[in-house]
Chain A
């Protein structure tokens, strides 16, 4: 069922290791970084909007 004889065979990718892992590595990196960036953006936006809201309600009370 499994195509590879050993783990080092798998890593070598029949001599194409650099190209195959270079493709998969950068893709994986982007798919980790993008969701983190989206979550961060959400956090900072919510914090900023909350600050704005507090500032507004203070100015209407005063």
Chain B
């Protein structure tokens, strides 16, 4: 009984709001540090790729943004499942706070991919399985945001959006395995758990950049969820106190 009480307390917006506020500076600091070291290694130290020349350096943002675009979607689907199963208020807010960042990551993945494809493949875009499924991911993000924005009642919006997220999650393994399942123009993954086809220094640069993007996404989503909490919980005493107290 006691455990249960704690779990509810933890997922309550009133407890999460100040906690998020305290965590944001740490994620900003970690993201900046990791990003600077990652850029230093990736842009200044790492050698030229023997096949792709200096153009390969695009992967230092292309891979992290692509990973984040898929990972953020999975986290949103997780929150949607929690929200639908336990009817928790915070989960819908979390999913909403993550959506714009996920959409931007999907956009950046496509944008940097196009800029890589032009010199390497000779084309900005092809209707290849990997590229098309990533484009669908961007549309899923946009569709989710539009759906949630179109429904006035916040709890209903969470439910409808949550179902969309759970249905769309099928697209994530399609993106991930597309390079294996189909004959794609997109190259196979150069990193997996057991072996990597990249030089070690390049791999380090990429992993550091991936962590930096991760920290950035968490920081910006936490900042966004704080505003959503204030807006949705404005009828409660603690938000009123927060507003009249002048604290941010």
Whether, in the assembled complex, B128 has its beta carbon less than 8 Å from a beta carbon of chain A, the answer is no
Task: Say yes or no: B58 contacts A23, CB within 8 Å.
Answer: yes
Task: Say yes or no: A35 contacts B220, CB within 8 Å.
Answer: yes
Number of cross-chain contacts by CB at 8 Å: 93
A16, A41, A46, A49: the one contacting B54 at CB < 8 Å is A16
Task: Say yes or no: A15 contacts B53, CB within 8 Å.
Answer: yes
Task: Say yes or no: B234 contacts A19, CB within 8 Å.
Answer: no
B101, B115, B234: the one contacting A34 at CB < 8 Å is B101
Per-position 1/0 for A44-62, Cβ under 8 A of B: 0110011011000000000
- Residues on the B chain within 8 Å of A38, using CB: 220, 223-224, 227
Task: Say yes or no: B55 contacts A39, CB within 8 Å.
Answer: no
Residue among B45, B220, B227 with max Cβ neighbours from chain A (10 Å): B227
Task: Say yes or no: A49 contacts B224, CB within 8 Å.
Answer: no
Per-position 1/0 for B100-133, Cβ under 8 A of A: 1100100110011001101100000000000000
- Residues on the A chain within 8 Å of B47, using CB: 3
B100, B226, B240: the one contacting A53 at CB < 8 Å is B240
B contacts with A: majority SS:
helix
Residue among B48, B54, B243 with max Cβ neighbours from chain A (10 Å): B54
Task: Say yes or no: A19 contacts B216, CB within 8 Å.
Answer: no
Task: Say yes or no: A23 contacts B54, CB within 8 Å.
Answer: no
Q: Which of A1-54 contact B (CB under 8 A)?
A: 1-4, 10, 13-16, 19-20, 22-24, 26-27, 30-31, 34-35, 38-39, 41-42, 45-46, 49-50, 52-53
Task: Say yes or no: A19 contacts B223, CB within 8 Å.
Answer: no
Residue of A nearest to B223 (CB): A38
Interface residues of A (CB under 8 A from B): 1-4, 10, 13-16, 19-20, 22-24, 26-27, 30-31, 34-35, 38-39, 41-42, 45-46, 49-50, 52-53
What would 11 more interface pairs be, CB under 8 Å, given A23-B112, A53-B234? A13-B55, A16-B53, A19-B118, A20-B54, A23-B61, A30-B108, A42-B248, A46-B243, A49-B234, A49-B239, A53-B243
